[in-house]
């Protein structure tokens, strides 16, 4: 039976909950380490190491370097491990100051200036994107069945109809209005970026009437390119399908609803963004 471990760095534990929902692995794989559910206090030698969370503190970095030495294969799991993630929000307001004040008093780990993706420090064999990744994708990683059988974009998973003759003139705010269950959310004026987001999630958000915010990251067409190319493509889709003024689209793409999520892709904000070979990304 294969051994695997889950190393939790700075994140929210959502990835772990999603993994635990994929109970099909329980009879086939031995979970040797995962602080959330096991009483093992150090990472043992394992075939597979799943790393969730970004590198936000000096302790994260120490644990990461220590754990990868004991692993046959390393998988970066979720937006935080792949792109820095939600822990970066601590730099946006007084949270960082509060944390630093507490750190001095209580000797909690020192913060690094930002939350880094793990491949800034260690070699990664595979990437499992999503916030969190869907349970069925965890199973694909564990079984090694990662050949490309997944949809290329969220649009392919979504199933909503794109209409040529329905062109909204303005954006509709998130979670406002009555959503038609069958029609593409862009036709209804919602800021959905599923057309350039990698598929495989099954589109749970858009099926439920909520625009895709891109948690799976760029699709294969964009993953090896700069983030500006990704953003331009999204704007082009809106130009082709709506009569919404360009400025309104640009403002929408930078609005808190979307920016809150896109902000987690901190690696794309660097001058030299990390380029991950698409073959390694599920």
Among 55, 87, 215, 231, binds ligand SF4 (CB under 6 A): 215
Does position 126 bind ligand SF4 by CB under 6 A?
Answer: no
Does position 184 bind ligand SF4 by CB under 6 A?
Answer: yes
CA 72 to chain centre: 24
Distance CA 131, CA 37 (A): 20
Does position 15 bind ligand SF4 by CB under 6 A?
Answer: no
Among 84, 189, 194, 218, binds ligand SF4 (CB under 6 A): 194
- Shortest reach from residue 234's CB to ligand SF4, in Å: 10
Among 9, 155, 231, 282, binds ligand SF4 (CB under 6 A): 155
Does position 160 bind ligand SF4 by CB under 6 A?
Answer: yes
Does position 186 bind ligand SF4 by CB under 6 A?
Answer: yes
Distance CA 42, CA 66 (A): 10
- Shortest reach from residue 159's CB to ligand SF4, in Å: 7
The nearer residue to ligand SF4, 4 or 138, going by C-beta atoms, is 138
Among 88, 197, 219, 264, binds ligand SF4 (CB under 6 A): 197
Distance CA 157, CA 169 (A): 26
In terms of C-beta density within 10 A (0-12 exposed, 13-18 middle, 19 or more buried), how is residue 169 classed? Answer: exposed
Among 122, 201, 262, 281, binds ligand SF4 (CB under 6 A): 201
- Shortest reach from residue 83's CB to ligand SF4, in Å: 13
Distance CA 206, CA 180 (A): 11
Does position 206 bind ligand SF4 by CB under 6 A?
Answer: yes
Distance CA 212, CA 216 (A): 10
Of all residues in the shown chain, the one whose CB is closest to ligand SF4 is: 194
- Shortest reach from residue 280's CB to ligand SF4, in Å: 18
Applying CB under 6 A, the span of 71-79, 88-96, 111-119, 198-206 interacting with ligand SF4 comes to 198-206
Distance CA 50, CA 73 (A): 9
- Phi-psi region at 129: left, alpha or beta (left = phi > 0; alpha = psi -120 to 50): beta
The nearer residue to ligand SF4, 47 or 248, going by C-beta atoms, is 248
Look up residue 59 and give its two tokens: 């302790």
Does position 203 bind ligand SF4 by CB under 6 A?
Answer: yes
Task: Name beta bridge partners: 16.
Answer: none
Distance CA 88, CA 113 (A): 9
Distance CA 198, CA 187 (A): 21
Residues 39-68 touching ligand SF4, rule: CB under 6 A, are: none
If DSSP codes are grouped into helix, strand and coil, which group holds residue 249?
helix
CA 130 to chain centre: 4
Does position 276 bind ligand SF4 by CB under 6 A?
Answer: no
Give me the residues that bind ligand SF4 (CB under 6 A), please.
Answer: 154-155, 158, 160, 162, 184-186, 192, 194-195, 197, 201, 203-206, 212-216
């Amino acid at each position: 039976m294969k051994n695997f471990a889950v190393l939790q760095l700075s994140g929210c534990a959502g990835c772990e909950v999603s993994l635990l929902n994929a109970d099909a692995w329980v009879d086939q794989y031995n979970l040797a380490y995962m602080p959330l559910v096991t009483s093992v206090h150090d990472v043992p030698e394992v075939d597979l190491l799943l790393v969730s969370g970004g590198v936000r503190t000096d302790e994260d970095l120490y644990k990461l370097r220590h754990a990868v030495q004991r692993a046959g294969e390393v998988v970066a799991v979720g937006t935080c491990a792949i792109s820095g993630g939600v822990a970066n929000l601590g730099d946006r307001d007084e949270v960082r100051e509060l944390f630093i004040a507490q750190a001095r008093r209580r000797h909690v780990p020192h913060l690094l200036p930002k939350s880094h993706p793990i491949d800034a420090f260690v070699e990664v064999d595979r990437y499992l994107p999503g916030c969190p990744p869907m349970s069925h994708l965890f199973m694909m990683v564990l079984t090694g069945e990662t050949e490309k059988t997944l949809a290329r974009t969220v649009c392919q998973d979504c199933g909503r109809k794109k209409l040529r003759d329905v062109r909204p003139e303005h954006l509709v705010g998130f979670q406002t209005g009555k959503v038609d269950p069958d029609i593409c959310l862009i036709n209804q004026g919602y800021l959905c970026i599923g057309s350039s987001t990698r598929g495989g999630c099954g589109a749970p958000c858009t099926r439920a009437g909520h625009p895709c915010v891109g948690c799976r990251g760029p699709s294969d067409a964009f993953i090896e390119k700069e983030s500006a190319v990704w953003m331009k493509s999204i704007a082009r889709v809106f130009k082709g399908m709506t009569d919404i003024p360009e400025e309104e689209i640009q403002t929408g793409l930078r609005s808190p609803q979307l920016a809150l999520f896109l902000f987690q892709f901190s690696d794309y904000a660097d001058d030299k963004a990390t380029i991950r070979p698409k073959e390694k990304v599920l």
